[in-house]
Structure 1
């Protein structure tokens, strides 16, 4: 066993524990300097505990702040018979952090339930959308039929199949400039046929 393992960093009894108890007693009487001393001694352990429970630095800082507000308010209720000041403050910190985790989980569960509770669309609700999509497809098909063969193939390959203009030129066995020109002309004719502004 190493020496640092044998000796606790903060012994439960001794000068440290007595000093903390004195600071807490004076805090209970409204002594702001004593509270500041208590804060200096315990802020690190409280923040560390909250950070381990919450795994979120910002929330851990909020919880630590809430803990010290509670310590200030409840200092007079501290019972030395129940344990040391450090243990009492860290117990308050642990409870606050766990409460925050539970509150976050409850909020997440509520959002999940609300998402599930939203009314799902019925087949009757989908009919107008399906009809509109069908009409749009039919208009596009009709307008594509008005293009020249090369224009139609250039549009089909680049817009519907995802080819680059160079790949479309290779597939159609025509020069790249031909594909670019036919594509531009075809898109202009489609825009005019579909009545798309711009």
Structure 2
């Protein structure tokens, strides 16, 4: 049987739903999970309606971002559909099992997003052909991406913002200046000072 469609959970939906909870609903959720294990789509819909508020709420607390939280919630319920037969009533309540799945999924999302950011940083470090000045050339030739990510934290907020736009965003001085609403000479100074500080942090001579 095809996987049932999982509705996207919005903040409004989350507030409107009644949680399945643990008081008086535990046995009902257990029954629903047993039916879901038999690929019962009606049971799945009922389980989703009773519990999605709490799953979304947990995901939102971990991920902050509403869209990522919605995606994580969808993934949790797809996991429920595919693994309901693994639920063991003797090991804990349905809600505890579900919230464990939700927490793991949210944490996985956090790690995935961080990994994606790191990959972009490494890619930018490896492929950028800057056209700003000799300081940029020196840094790009000698950097190690992971170290650069750490060294970026040593820059001031304005230096970091300008360097990221130019270095990772591939913008020219003028484009960075227009984006930040700052004069081009100021942007040049920020980027050059920032890159000099990066050189010192990276040990580039």
TM-score between the two structures when normalised by the length of structure 1: 0.53
**1:24 maps to which residue?**
33
Kept in 1, the 8 Å contact 2:21–2:51? The answer is no
2:77 to 53, 58, 68: 68
Flag structure 1 segments of 5+ consecutive residues without an equivalent.
Answer: 1-8, 127-198
* Bigger Rg, structure 1 or 2: 1
Superposition RMSD in Å: 2.3
Number of equivalences: 115
Structure 1 runs (4+) greater than 6 angstroms displaced: 119-122
**1:85 maps to which residue?**
94
User: Residue 106 in 1 paired to residue 115 in 2?
Assistant: yes
Residues 19 and 118 from structure 1, CA distance in 2 versus in 1: closer, same or farther, beyond 3 angstroms?
same
Instruction: Judging by fraction of residues, say which structure has more helix.
Output: 1
User: Residue 94 in 1 paired to residue 106 in 2?
Assistant: no
Flag structure 2 segments of 5+ consecutive residues without an equivalent.
Answer: 1-18, 138-205
Higher relative contact order (CA 8 A, sep 6+): 2
1:46 to 38, 42, 55: 55
User: Residue 115 in 1 paired to residue 124 in 2?
Assistant: yes
Residues in 2 aligned to 1:113 and 1:11: alpha-carbon distance in whole angstroms: 44
TM-score between the two structures when normalised by the length of structure 2: 0.51
Residues in 2 aligned to 1:103 and 1:11: alpha-carbon distance in whole angstroms: 30
Deviations 1:76-116 (A, max 9, x none): 11111221100111111111111011011011011112222
Residues in 1 aligned to 2:90 and 2:20: alpha-carbon distance in whole angstroms: 19
Q: SS where residue 29 of structure 1 aligns?
A: coil
Q: SS where residue 15 of structure 1 aligns?
A: coil
**2:179 maps to which residue?**
none
